[in-house]
Amino acid sequence: MTRAFRVAAVGLTAALAMSITACSKPASSGAGGSAPSVAADKHLNIGFFGFAKANSFAQAAWAGVESYANQHNASATFLDSNFDGPTQVNQLQDAVTSKRFDVVIVQANDGTAIVNPVKQAVAAGIVVVIEFTPVGGRYDTADPQVPGTINIIDPPTVNGVGLAKLGLDACKTVATGACTVAYFQGFANYPLDTARTNAAVDALKAGGATVISNFVGGYTPDTGRASMQNLLQSHPEVNVVIGSSQALEGATPLAKDKKIAFVGNGGSTQAFGFVADGTWYGVYDVPEKSEGAKAAELGLAKARGQSVPESTVACTALTTFNCLGTKQTLQGLTADYSD
């Protein structure tokens, strides 16, 4: 590994720390808008507007929401939009009209389309918690983009820089000089994925890597397998592959006879296993069950008149390793969900 590459990688570590710190915003007595406080002993209702019931990541968040609600005098309901942005918009609008929920937790499928119904919910006095995905036009911050909301976010650009940090560290294990890194984007032309991809690619290049980023890996083993086949045909020299953990589950078997390091995005049971046995170098691990529970905690606390932070960066609040999961940092931990 060249000295320039090592120095650049150290710089990226500092940049990651600065980007995470810049996303934090301290507690404010006004966080959560003008929702009226209620008696501590009143039973409250939470609506969880998750990505999809069939999605393991959303199910992990839901498990955290439901568990916390059941233990704190509240009930929770999962409203399934099945990854469809317009459906989720309609569901939230209906919830505002019916006044069915005291707290809503929004895991946005489309962070721009959902802005207006989120504003309507805040105006109606409903406590709104934005969980995981930013709501608004920016993907580089955990700060509220809709006034009055509470936000616990993994900013996509911070995610991208974190993946790049893991990727550059992985380079040191498989390359003695120049390192070629393939980055599999999740969905093509999806704003969140585009922001994450651009942040990762820029950080990888700044760290000295040669980057291949014209493959869409998707979020299933089948799409990952197809992308890996195409990658190996056109770029057999690749040293490191980064992509969604689901995609890499399909890609990994194709590289069994090659010296390639993998970095996954998503801390599933399967991903933890690959890291533990050395098949993958690392994984960007957001503890999503814990994040769901924290979202419920923040929402219920605000509804009951307590002061809560208006913005929280998930990786700094819920992990001691900024979500940068390696064999060392994940030792003794259990994944929040299974793919």
**pLDDT recorded at residue 189:** 78
* Beta strand spans in 140-272 (E): 150-153, 180-185, 210-216, 240-244, 261-265
- 117, two tokens: 């119904």
**pLDDT recorded at residue 41:** 80
Pairwise CA distance, residues 337 & 298, whole Å? 22
The pLDDT tens digits along the chain (339 residues) read: 443 343 344 345 444 544 444 444 554 434 444 455 567 789 999 999 999 999 899 999 999 999 999 999 999 999 999 999 999 999 999 999 999 999 999 999 999 999 999 999 999 999 999 999 999 999 999 999 999 999 999 999 999 999 999 999 999 999 988 999 999 999 887 888 999 999 999 999 999 999 999 999 999 999 999 999 999 999 999 999 999 999 999 999 999 989 999 999 999 999 999 999 999 999 999 999 999 999 999 999 999 999 999 999 999 999 999 999 999 999 999 999 998
Pairwise CA distance, residues 40 & 29, whole Å? 18
Nearest to 72 by CA among 316, 271, 332, 302: 302
The class (CATH top level) of 3-20+157-284 is: alpha beta
Q: Are 114 and 107 in contact (CB under 8 A)?
A: no
Amino acid at 328: Q
* Beta strand spans in 56-192 (E): 74-78, 103-106, 127-132, 150-153, 180-185
Q: Are 193 and 41 in contact (CB under 8 A)?
A: no
Pairwise CA distance, residues 103 & 125, whole Å? 9
**pLDDT recorded at residue 106:** 98
Coarse DSSP helix, strand, coil percentages of the chain, rounded to the nearest 5 percent: 45, 20, 35
Amino acid at 117: P
Contacts of 292 (CB under 8 A, 6+ apart): 48, 60, 61, 62, 63, 64, 65, 68, 105, 131
Give me the phi and psi of 66, to 5 degrees please: -65, -45
**H-run or E-run covering 25:** strand 25-28
**pLDDT recorded at residue 12:** 52
Domain 31-154+287-320 = CATH 3.40.640.10: no
Reported residue count of the chain is 339
Give me the phi and psi of 287, to 5 degrees please: -75, 85
- 291, two tokens: 């994040």
Q: Which one-letter DSSP state was computed for residue 332? A: T
**Intervals of CATH 3.40.50.2300 along the chain:** 3-20+157-284, 31-154+287-320
Pairwise CA distance, residues 119 & 102, whole Å? 15
Pairwise CA distance, residues 229 & 79, whole Å? 37
Pairwise CA distance, residues 268 & 30, whole Å? 36
Pairwise CA distance, residues 137 & 192, whole Å? 10
Contacts of 51 (CB under 8 A, 6+ apart): 57, 58, 81, 83, 107, 109
Pairwise CA distance, residues 151 & 132, whole Å? 8
- 39, two tokens: 């008696």
Nearest to 126 by CA among 97, 152, 87: 97
Contacts of 201 (CB under 8 A, 6+ apart): 160, 164, 183, 211, 213
SS3 318: helix
**pLDDT recorded at residue 37:** 59
